[in-house]
Chains A and B, each alone.
Chain A
Amino acid sequence: AQSVTQLGSHVSVSEGALVLLRCNYSSSVPPYLFWYVQYPNQGLQLLLKYTSAATLVKGINGFEAEFKKSETSFHLTKPSAHMSDAAEYFCAVSPPNDYKLSFGAGTTVTVRA
């Protein structure tokens, strides 16, 4: 079975500051891990994914995440926040090449000018 825990339901950052969203996973098999972003009144867009290749994954819009097996973590970061980063972010886990995504509860990011 797989599950994810996102620490912090809401994160507020200043424009230009570091964005750090935390995700810890539990999986009985080597997992695939994903970060999705949901802008207001829109569907989910894939930011990046880890599928057992490089542990540091770079995604769209300047985001990256690092898979740390020893910490069972897949935290999402962006060095400098933009106002357009205000959205809800979901971490998800699945078994390798399996459609069964398990989503975290989500983290809402607000960006202060």
Chain B
Amino acid sequence: SAVISQKPSRDICQRGTSLTIQCQVDSQVTMMFWYRQQPGQSLTLIATANQGSEATYESGFVIDKFPISRPNLTFSTLTVSNMSPEDSSIYLCSVEGVTAGGYEQYFGPGTRLTVT
């Protein structure tokens, strides 16, 4: 399985500002994913990030609000722009993995964001 780290682990930010979250994986992976987990809710996929191409965003998420970079096969960033209290969530990155038992995803520890 892959080992994934995220920075920062948590932050408190003022509305109107932006925060960039980093995701580092210990092996090269083709696809990285960014999820949002709003308080008391399940995970929602924000976008898929492939190295060398623009991220693919899910319905309801736009690049201006959540720009993503994927400069190489082990790293990605997600920026939450012009934040409002509604952006207070846990943001998780994940990577794909293929094992003898088939496809699965591995998740990072998450970044807990509070917007005041």
For A100, the chain B residues whose CB sits under 8 A away are 45
For A105, the chain B residues whose CB sits under 8 A away are 41-42
For B4, the chain A residues whose CB sits under 8 A away are 43
- Inter-chain contact count A-B, CB under 8 Å? 56
At the interface, yes or no: A55 with Cβ under 8 Å from chain B?
Answer: no
Distance (whole angstroms) from the CB of B100 to the closest CB of chain A: 10
- Rounded to whole angstroms, the CA-CA distance of A98 and B108 in the bound complex is 19
Chain B interfacial residues counted at CB < 8 A: 24
Indicate the size class of the contact surface on chain A: 20 to 34
B102-113 interface bits toward A, Cβ cutoff 8 Å, 1 = contact, 0 = none: 111111111010
Nearest 5 A/B pairs, CB to CB: A51-B102, A44-B107, A43-B109, A43-B107, A103-B42
